[in-house]
Amino acid sequence: MGNREKMPQIPQEGPIPIGVVLRALRWGVGKKISAFADMIGYDPGYLSQIETGKAPTTDEFLEEVSKALGLTSPEEIRAISREGIVELLDRNNDPSRGVRSKKIKASLQDRIAHLDGRIEMEEQRLQRLKAVREELQAMIKK
């Protein structure tokens, strides 16, 4: 992280602004704003405006952030707790350690399990298609 960048400030009460959540997540994965903006395909200035509450988020934006973080949906971003954010920002305020919250790790594990299931399903589908192909080739040879 650059020296000029400020650590996200978590309000003591009330809901945590989505910009603070996003900055904490970005810090938690150890990414500078420019690198994270590249990951999600958005301009770093726009990302900065969102993180500081100067621009609203869109569903499309949150979808790209979710994908970049390996989450299954933007709702997982909105559901991150105050404790999860504090955990991300902890460790002597050193975001470069790449600390991930337990929720993010669990989400990543769930995503991997989901992808494993999809791969197995596609492999089974491929086997069925190969069988149909072989039957068609046998019919042609007759």
CATH of the domain at 132: 1.10.260.40
User: CA 139 from chain center: how many Å?
Assistant: 49
Q: How far is CA 90 from CA 5, 27, 35, 71, 93, in A?
A: 16, 10, 21, 22, 5
Domain presence at residue 113: yes
Specify if 52 maps to a domain: yes
Identify whether 93 is part of a domain. yes
Does any domain span residue 116?
A: yes
DSSP H or E run through 107? helix 102-141
End-to-end alpha carbon distance in the chain:
68
Whether residue 27 has pLDDT greater than 90: no
- The model's pTM: 0.56
Both tokens assigned to 106: 């669990």
Q: Is residue 91 part of a domain?
A: yes
Identify the domain containing residue 90 by its residue range.
18-141
Looking at the domain assignment, is residue 5 inside a domain?
A: no
Task: Please state, in angstroms and as integers, the Cα–Cα distance from residue 91 to each residue in 9, 28, 71, following that order.
Answer: 15, 11, 23
Q: For residue 51, is it within any domain?
A: yes
Q: Does residue 10 sit within a domain?
A: no
Residue 107: is its pLDDT beyond 80?
A: no
Lowest mean pLDDT among 22-26, 59-63, 85-89, 124-128: 85-89
pLDDT score of 44 more than 80? yes
pLDDT in tens, 72-93: 888 888 877 676 776 666 643 5
Q: With 60 as the cut, is the pLDDT of residue 118 above it?
A: yes
